[in-house]
Structure 1
Amino acid sequence: MPSCRSLLVGLLSVLLSIPALAQTTSPTFLQLNARQNCWVDSVFTNMAPDDRIAQLIMVAGYSNRKPGYEDSLVTLVQKNKLGGVVMFQGGPMRQARLTNRLQANSKVPLLIAMDAEWGIAMRLDSTVRYPYQMTLGAMQGAGSDSLIYQMGAHLAKQARRLGMHVNFAPSVDVNNNPNNPVINFRSFGENKYDVARKALAYMRGMQDNQLLTSLKHFPGHGDTGTDSHYDLPLITKSRAQLDSLELYPFRQLINAGAAGVMIAHLSIPALDTTRNRPSTLSPAIVTNLLKNELGFQGLVFSDAMNMKGVTKYFPSGRADELGLEAGMDVLEFTEDVPAALSLIKQAIADGRMTQASLDARCLKVLKAKAWVGLDQYKPIVLDNLVSDLNPVQDELLNRKLTEASLTVLKNDRNLLPLQRLDTLRIASVAIESDKITAFQQMASNYTLVDHFNITSKTPDSTLAQVRDSLKNYNLILVDVHLNNIRPAVKYGLQAKTAGLLGELVATGKAVVTVFGNVYALDKLTFPMDTAQPSRNIEQARAIVMPYQLTNYTEELSAQLIFGAIGASGKLPVTVNQRFRVGDGMTIQPNGRLKYTIPEEVGIDSRYLTQQVDSLVNVGLTQKAFPGCVVQMARNGKVIFRKAYGKHTYDASLGAEPLPVQLDDLYDMASVTKVSTSTPALMRLVDEGKFNLDGKMADYLPSFKKSNKADLVWRDVLTHQARLKAWIPFWMDTKNPDGTWKPKTFKAEESSRYPIEVTDSLYEFKKYPRTIFQQIRDSPLNPKKEYVYSDLSFILYPQIVKRITGVDFEDYIKTTFYKPLGATTLTFLPRRFYSLNRIVPTEYDSLFRKTLIWGRVHDEGAAMLNGLSGHAGLFGSANDLMKVYEMYRQKGSYGGQQFISQKTIAEFTRYQFPELGNRRGLGFDKPSFTYSGNGPKSGTKASYGHSGYTGTFVWVEPDPAYNLTYVFLCNRVYPTRNNPTLGNLNTRTNIVEALYQATKRGLQ
């Protein structure tokens, strides 16, 4: 066998036979190390001339075909000693097995390629799908290039894991024809500079991670209304026009070291005057323009050789031969391999091609194979393949890419992001979706939104009902779901639903989000049915363009509308005179909760989920609670939301127990204190209407002659004012024989007994006064020390009403909950929600003798008609978190300042640490020395509260953490005599897991 040195000399002589090249950066794959070059020369030397020709042919491969197909494909590749396979439809495991089999039966390792412009999911199921290039074209700023580079790098790693070596991407076509049927959304846009810059980032991301790329579709497929899959497009531009626009991105990326270029099937008289000659078969375009003039040294790929753009005038086999004669290096998707090989050999015999020129191209292919590691080929490892192809980092990247592309094209009077949710009655209308959409689900996380879904098949009678219902709303969120991205079918628009869209925008109440091709905006500008009054999308109050229909675009568009994220995208193309390239408004977020994944805030989702799942499952197994909801946020981003278990343990309620849902309502118990009374007092302090250093009698005149008259509110709120811990009010209503005392309770409702405690227990209308009197007249503890007490919190609703003139519940809801969008937070939830939404609390065997379900668990609050400042609040974990996120944001949320930073700081600091009292004003705080309770890692700035029924909230405002945490469960079901939750420390161990996960991310 000849030495590597002699082979290298031979290789140099072959390469010198290639025409002189212009100055350019050569592709990396041509710069091999000594070992790789030796492999190339060794393989080349041992090849027969015919085998060298076969290295230039790639056939199509599918992993979803019927039995027998794979055998025929393996035989075709093995028999003809082909150079590569282009993979199409299938699945990752099936393709990996097929690839391994093909490689095992190929003497020279195969180059495996795929057309995966927006990720492997373009061809295979169960893989990552990235945004279309048009979507990415909307991204602005230097950061966008970095994200696109990351996309290329991530895709390359997935491709290599799947045994792939070539991605026929990026598309560098400048799409300046809105009716382009084949490029369109596959282009970065119509601005040649943006196209070049973003394509370069994408290309480098792939090539830097050992994936060969192929720029396409040379010399530019963006300005045609013909699909080359079905016909030969004609490009009538002049050479000067082509140089100025279409060729610009190719030049830039070739000069940057592009590995490959794909030749399109186009007829371009300005470059080749031969009638009906596709550019793939044109020496003037492939050799003279691309190789000689532009100096391209990499691999020249054909577009698929089965497309009508080439086969319409040149049959299979003949087209392949002419493609190589024109100067191409690799024929993609050759249909008739024997015919192609025969005609190529005949062309050599006839002198139309030389074996030396084909040998040079074969050497180039072998160099590419060595560069991608095929000189040390290893089969694809099948273990964990699917999970490896779907890393969580790609979900985060997809979210970032989508978020950066969102474009706001209209924002009348700065409507977005939505402000003052308490002033809005919101409906959402999903067009062309017959079920609740991801957009609608996300919108419901922010406030109460009523949903309507219509399609072109919706009966007219139903549409009439929808029209009538929508009159009751002052804001309509319209999400238009376009299920087609092609201009030939009007992007999936239907006349019937487009007509309804016209009606909605004409109301002046619509915010329209179009989930589909950006060019569809032009179809929404004029009525599709000329018999209808002239209406267009411009009449919408706001227009959001996410460019395509995915879960990411739906969820993030809703988050944009409500202010969790901003918008900076710009139109990458001109749609019409109204919507032009570069249009797009900058929208700033307003601080509402964002819903994302832990990785966005530097937390490992697998670690966090494993920790939380383990802790919760121990609690479930040991029956500490039948079910729970856990919600966590960092930096204002909700990173963990999960419901566990069921409402109850068994079917004792007459049916199988319901699984816990994220939006189920729980009895908050003492979390009520810091969710109702405490924020009310903070607001009154801000307004100068409540003095923390004032005395109890100052705000409760009936207490002036009591032993509590001079108690200072700061002491009261920190539980060191000598108040009794609690009073069992209900016990005073019973006679020794167990009957009710007069003027306490009756079994039936009446005007004298209107307060419903249970379905068969009604309280005397004036009895609440007795409760307040009992508090007023109760003895004080002998010593001023910390004793946790409910009593003052029972009084705060009276104080709030006395100061504001507004009933306590109305005050809390109008001041806080409705503007926050925390619409499930309520007292007496049976008034508004079905029992299926409310988790049962406890079977009360002592006082009410019934299951407490949808009524307050606390006996004292029950005797106050379910409404008190110490207990009685119900709600979902998500809505409760909004209150505590407002606290964490120093009193601000959704662009509104609810409480001043100064007051938040005052209420949440240690008030009397010198006395060993760990309390803030209303809030609990970490112990000064960790004693096994509370989160071990909580800083001195942290605060929260627990509830008797099993609830817990915690805020960590320290900048190193910035955490918000909610835990809801019904640990008292079926009985309060169950200390397991406390013994396990489940609630605080879970938040400790969040601290630890955050610390790990900071390391």
Structure 2
Amino acid sequence: MAVKNVCAAKMGGCSFSMRRGNGKSDRLTASLLVCILFFHFTPLLFAQQQNPPFLADKYLYWADSVLATLSPEERIAQLIMIPAYSNKDKVHVDSISALVREYGVGGIIFFQGGPVRQAHMINRFQQETKVPLMISLDGEWGLRMRLDSTVRYPYQMALGGVSDEDLLYEMGAEVARQARRSGIHVNFAPVVDVNNNANNPVIGFRSFGEEKENVASKSLAYMKGMQDHGILASAKHFPGHGDTDADSHYSLPVLHFSEKRLRETELYPFRQLMEQGLGSIMVAHMQIPALDDTPNLASSLSRPIVTGLLKEEMGYQGLVFTDALNMQAVAGYYPPGVVDVKALLAGNDMLLNTMDVPATIREVQRAVERGEISREEIDQRVLKVLQAKAWLGLDSLQPVETAHLIEDLNDPAAVFLSRKLTAASLTLLRNRDNILPVKGLDNIRIASVSLGTDKPTDFQKGLDRYAPISHFTFPAGGGLKEIADLKTKLADFQLVLLGLHGLGIREGSNDFGITPEMNVMIRDLIANHAVVVSVFGNVYSLDKIPGLEKAEGLIAAYQETPLTQDLTAQLIFGGIGARGRLPVTVNGFFKQGDGLETQTGGRLSYTQPEEVGIRTADLNGIDSLMRLAIQEKAIPGGQVLLAKGGKVFYQKAFGYHTYDSLQPVNMDDLYDLASITKISTSLAAFMHLKGLGKFDENETLGSYYPPARGTNKADLAYKDILTHQARLRSWIPFWMSTVRKNGSFKWFTMKSDSSRRFPVKVADDLFIHRKYDQKIYEEILDSPLNPEPGYVYSDLSFILAPKVIETITGEPFYEYLDRNLYRPLGAGTLTFNPYKNYPPKRVVPTEIDTAFRKQLLHATVHDEGAAMLGGVSGHAGLFGNANDLAKLMHLYLYDGSYAGEQLIAPGVVSAYSKCVYCDTGNYRAMGFDRPNRPGDPNGNAAPSAPKSSFGHSGFTGTYTWIDPENEIVYVFLSNRVYPTRENRNIYRLNVRTNILEQVYQALSKAEGRED
């Protein structure tokens, strides 16, 4: 067996025979000879097992030299790793410091706290120690498992369903980067336990699943990612904690199955990782009679298991850690010091969570004196620890730099990796009749219910981006009355999106908090509605809900985080597709390997710049431009949305509704879109009708609008009207004809109260005569044409457009738009007169009108002409948020197609967005604006915007632009006219076009990096 110990880890492992003192070279030569003979005659026994990386000979010199400086007591201390917390007080920190200084412990395992506080502690302790400390942490799902202000990665159970194992390698590499940046050297991960017991109280979601091959391959990817990037991985919990029904933190679990089963299943992942150079292993606290039948003896204290099975039979040469020695599975049977010695005698190298350092050192010395363990054996283990420290770079230790630590740990690329992993894990288990992604938004009423909470959830916020949805909650303690109330409220909804929340393991119960009342509620919903259930929690909870398999849609999301809820909402509506596979069998309906795939449904997805090849840092200029605009009082605030290829990669709200800084701007607030109304209403309807063969730009105004016949407008071709070269006047100040010289309104025009004759609301406490719109239309038709041909931007034809469209369709203007475009898009906030449907706090005010309406314009249209038409016009009056406007712009980007529906016939938007009269100097398309001076930083478009790009701007400070070459959609909403339209700072600063230019510069940098 001595030969095996020397040679088990290939030729390089023979370094363990090297001892200081006389005869060192002879002993090395003899050991090498033994190794050569051993491997010659047993080529198959360990041929596939790769040494842990720190056992290379180059790390031996430093380790051997340090060992020579240590006293016997200090050598024992090197095998001790003590617990520490960075969220505790100075007394705790000082107590750890004392152990480091007085006894020279080998390492520290950190638990809860924060990165900067922990870094300060690490720096202090490393300064106080004689031998650099090995710093460790449990980071199974990243540093966030223990440290606040860090990136959270999905639980291993979720990752068990991810098909792309390269992502797990990336995760390991990124966790290693974050660990090294934080001063951490060992991550006690991955968990390689095969979780084949659904009632396991301690592993469960911490495992990659129940299939040993899947657990092994996922664990290996995670391990290699960490160790390839300089962090020691630690596979746990040897020999396998997946099939236990007790928590070793509180009692000693007993494994009653056979040695054959243990070797075939539980040990399989450990063997696979050992063969690839696994750096360390953590031994569990379990009683395993098949391997050692000593009563009440944990595996971590068993020599037949640690030395006999792990080190000798399996030939493992890496570091062997105990599980925490303060856990009741061992601490309940042996006092501090004694338990540590037993662990050392069993064969462990590092004693984790030693609770009494002087007692442990004292007890180990006594064991040496009793001949239970030799000094040489202790030295061999210390040497291995020191070699690991050398590999980890502790031979040239540098302090942890605390400046920018939080920022570095939360690098956007690291956050994006978490997003990719989470998206890849989402598992679609039911999709009856392909209900997902949700289709036909124009024909369905949708409600969401968050079950297990009484507050709106991130899931519901995510759903809101896709369609108008009514939201409800059902608290964990809800009873029959709440069930009845909710049933009544949901009666008229065809589709219910149900989120299950708060599904934690409760002490003394395995129902995950699912009450009988919740089951009644779920069963009733599934019986009476089309229901899509999203389970935000432990996947085993699926078994606690009878009838769940009957739901039209079912998504296993594995855990409840804002990101998981966000991405699940995107999956439901087709922003992302489903790819995950169930890593465990829950019951007869939901089995290991189950998982349906869906493709993206053509709707917007919401992501980070990194997904479209842009670094987040390269867009910092956008934030700076917005802050400057607010500082210079160009705008009180605004919304900025940017998308590429249908992926919204930047979406932020800035500032406040007004300069009093009372109401912050939110992304769901509505803005007055001003002239963007032209391309969002009139032009949208014309293009839709064009596709139906009911409108032709070559026809005239008179052909579609009978009142124009016999006027000088009758023969104006729509091609000329839409390109603003039909000789129409730019505008008419209609409101001025309603005002007397003394400033009061003429009696037949406006009243302060509504009535049958004055029912049309112009603004708060201001109503116009019911037939005044006819006067406006007549005034337009009677107005003279410009004497000279050529381009003159005009509102007049767009004011007439609603009447033209109503004449063609026989349907009210807005109803036509809503039915054919807005509702299918899920663009519920695109509306006229938002005061009818939205609370004032959701609507951003515009100007304090001192000339006409004598008030702050809030939730009523800014444009005077549109206001006199009751807020509904084709040139101004539309309100909306950036997100919903972006949906319409994507419809234009993709030539009339969105979410798999061709809402505008192919080729129409493409034709209408092209320049018609460029050869005459008119750069406009039919309704759309185009770059007037391409490349000019003072033009109407970003200098780098291609000539093919198009869009529109609005007088209130709005702007939207579409770049078909780069598949970019840009929306900028602000109220620059607050408090007065005389504020022109937005033009001086070129805020709107400069923001889009930041994107082009970022893309240029990305292309340079790729080169």
TM-score band by shorter chain is over 0.9
Which residue, 183, 191, 196 being the options, matches 1:171? 191
How far apart are the structure 2 equivalents of 1:390 and 1:129? 10
Q: What pairs with 1:113-128 in structure 2 (closer than 5 Å)?
A: 113-128=136-151
Letter in 1 for 2:611: E
CA distance 1:437–1:738, shift in 2 (3 Å): closer
Q: What pairs with 1:2-81 in structure 2 (closer than 5 Å)?
A: 22-32=46-56, 34=58, 36-81=59-104
Worse-matched range after superposition: 361-370 or 618-627: 618-627
Alignment match, 1:318: 338
Alignment match, 1:190: 210
Give yes or no for contact 1:743–1:767 (8 Å, CA) kept in 2: no
> Is 1:102 the equivalent of 2:102?
no
Q: Which runs of 5+ in 1 are unaligned?
A: 526-535, 651-655
> Is 1:224 the equivalent of 2:233?
no
> Is 1:620 the equivalent of 2:651?
no
Question: What is the CA-CA distance between 1:328 and the residue it aligns to?
Answer: 1.8
> Is 1:571 the equivalent of 2:582?
yes
- Secondary structure of the residue that 1:693 maps to in structure 2? coil
Worse-matched range after superposition: 347-356 or 239-248: 347-356
> Is 1:587 the equivalent of 2:598?
yes
> Is 1:484 the equivalent of 2:512?
no
How far apart are the structure 1 equivalents of 2:807 and 2:152? 59
> Is 1:918 the equivalent of 2:923?
yes
How far apart are the structure 1 equivalents of 2:241 and 2:754? 79
How far apart are the structure 1 equivalents of 2:663 and 2:371? 80
- Secondary structure of the residue that 1:245 maps to in structure 2? helix
How far apart are the structure 2 equivalents of 1:742 and 1:172? 84
Q: What pairs with 1:643-682 in structure 2 (closer than 5 Å)?
A: 643-650=653-660, 657-682=662-687
Give yes or no for contact 1:24–1:257 (8 Å, CA) kept in 2: no
Deviation readout 1:247-284 (Å, 9 max, x if unpaired): 11111110011011111122223323434332222232
Deviation readout 1:82-115 (Å, 9 max, x if unpaired): 2222222222222222222222222111111122
- Secondary structure of the residue that 2:512 maps to in structure 1? helix
Alignment match, 1:531: none
How far apart are the structure 2 equivalents of 1:645 and 1:303? 51
Q: CA RMSD in A?
A: 2.5
How far apart are the structure 1 equivalents of 2:819 and 2:773? 25
Letter in 2 for 1:182: V
- Secondary structure of the residue that 2:907 maps to in structure 1? helix
CA distance 1:17–1:308, shift in 2 (3 Å): farther
How far apart are the structure 2 equivalents of 1:328 and 1:387? 38
Question: What is the CA-CA distance between 1:567 and the residue it aligns to?
Answer: 0.6
Give yes or no for contact 1:29–1:367 (8 Å, CA) kept in 2: no
Question: What is the CA-CA distance between 1:435 and the residue it aligns to?
Answer: 1.6
Worse-matched range after superposition: 73-82 or 949-958: 73-82
Question: What is the CA-CA distance between 1:659 and the residue it aligns to?
Answer: 2.6
How far apart are the structure 2 equivalents of 1:580 and 1:332? 37
Alignment match, 1:945: 952
Which residue, 439, 442, 450 being the options, matches 2:459? 439
- Secondary structure of the residue that 2:679 maps to in structure 1? helix
Q: What pairs with 1:146-545 in structure 2 (closer than 5 Å)?
A: 146-458=166-478, 461-485=481-505, 488-489=508-509, 490-525=511-546, 536-545=547-556
Letter in 1 for 2:596: M
Question: What is the CA-CA distance between 1:330 and the residue it aligns to?
Answer: 1.5
> Is 1:839 the equivalent of 2:844?
yes
How far apart are the structure 1 equivalents of 2:654 and 2:110? 42
How far apart are the structure 1 equivalents of 2:28 and 2:444? 75
Which residue, 630, 637, 643 being the options, matches 2:640? 630
Alignment match, 2:13: none
Question: What is the CA-CA distance between 1:432 and the residue it aligns to?
Answer: 2.0
Give yes or no for contact 1:797–1:808 (8 Å, CA) kept in 2: yes
- Secondary structure of the residue that 1:214 maps to in structure 2? strand
CA distance 1:77–1:845, shift in 2 (3 Å): closer
CA distance 1:39–1:691, shift in 2 (3 Å): same
CA distance 1:717–1:308, shift in 2 (3 Å): same
Letter in 2 for 1:601: V
- Secondary structure of the residue that 1:615 maps to in structure 2? helix
- Secondary structure of the residue that 2:539 maps to in structure 1? coil
Q: TM-score, normalised by structure 2?
A: 0.93
How far apart are the structure 2 equivalents of 1:88 and 1:724? 73
Alignment match, 1:641: 651
Question: What is the CA-CA distance between 1:15 and the residue it aligns to?
Answer: 9.2
Q: TM-score, normalised by structure 1?
A: 0.93
Deviation readout 1:574-612 (Å, 9 max, x if unpaired): 01111111111112211212122222222232332x312
Letter in 2 for 1:572: P
Letter in 2 for 1:223: D
CA distance 1:908–1:11, shift in 2 (3 Å): farther
Worse-matched range after superposition: 716-725 or 232-241: 232-241
How far apart are the structure 1 equivalents of 2:387 and 2:86? 28
- Secondary structure of the residue that 1:290 maps to in structure 2? helix
Question: What is the CA-CA distance between 1:746 and the residue it aligns to?
Answer: 4.5
Give yes or no for contact 1:408–1:543 (8 Å, CA) kept in 2: yes
Alignment match, 1:530: none
- Secondary structure of the residue that 2:831 maps to in structure 1? coil
Q: Which runs of 5+ in 2 are unaligned?
A: 1-18, 40-44
Q: What pairs with 1:904-983 in structure 2 (closer than 5 Å)?
A: 904-931=909-936, 932-934=938-940, 935-958=942-965, 961-983=966-988
Give yes or no for contact 2:54–2:390 (8 Å, CA) kept in 1: no
- Secondary structure of the residue that 1:492 maps to in structure 2? coil
CA distance 1:122–1:486, shift in 2 (3 Å): farther
- Give me the identity figure in percent: 49
- Secondary structure of the residue that 2:693 maps to in structure 1? coil
- Secondary structure of the residue that 1:967 maps to in structure 2? strand
How far apart are the structure 1 equivalents of 2:743 and 2:369? 114
Question: What is the CA-CA distance between 1:3 and the residue it aligns to?
Answer: 10
Alignment match, 1:532: none
- Secondary structure of the residue that 1:519 maps to in structure 2? helix
- Secondary structure of the residue that 1:397 maps to in structure 2? helix
How far apart are the structure 2 equivalents of 1:824 and 1:373? 57
Give yes or no for contact 1:562–1:592 (8 Å, CA) kept in 2: yes
CA distance 1:132–1:727, shift in 2 (3 Å): same
How far apart are the structure 1 equivalents of 2:32 and 2:793? 88
Give yes or no for contact 2:101–2:129 (8 Å, CA) kept in 1: yes
Letter in 2 for 1:423: N
> Is 1:990 the equivalent of 2:995?
yes
Question: What is the CA-CA distance between 1:907 and the residue it aligns to?
Answer: 1.0
Give yes or no for contact 2:636–2:656 (8 Å, CA) kept in 1: yes
Alignment match, 1:756: 761
> Is 1:138 the equivalent of 2:161?
yes
CA distance 1:854–1:256, shift in 2 (3 Å): same
Worse-matched range after superposition: 764-773 or 720-729: 764-773
Give yes or no for contact 2:158–2:558 (8 Å, CA) kept in 1: yes
How far apart are the structure 2 equivalents of 1:849 and 1:320? 83
> Is 1:807 the equivalent of 2:812?
yes
Letter in 2 for 1:952: Y
Worse-matched range after superposition: 704-713 or 395-404: 704-713
- Secondary structure of the residue that 2:321 maps to in structure 1? strand
How far apart are the structure 2 equivalents of 1:872 and 1:9? 94
Letter in 2 for 1:581: Q
How far apart are the structure 1 equivalents of 2:364 and 2:155? 38
Letter in 1 for 2:51: P
Question: What is the CA-CA distance between 1:712 and the residue it aligns to?
Answer: 1.9
Question: What is the CA-CA distance between 1:730 and the residue it aligns to?
Answer: 2.9
CA distance 1:260–1:767, shift in 2 (3 Å): same
Alignment match, 1:653: none
Deviation readout 1:901-958 (Å, 9 max, x if unpaired): 3112101111122112111110001124444122111112211001111111111121
Alignment match, 1:533: none
Q: Would you say how many aligned residue pairs link Structure 1 and Structure 2?
A: 980
Worse-matched range after superposition: 245-254 or 889-898: 889-898
Question: What is the CA-CA distance between 1:463 and the residue it aligns to?
Answer: 4.8
Deviation readout 1:484-512 (Å, 9 max, x if unpaired): 24685322333443433333333233221
- Secondary structure of the residue that 1:629 maps to in structure 2? strand
How far apart are the structure 1 equivalents of 2:395 and 2:223? 23
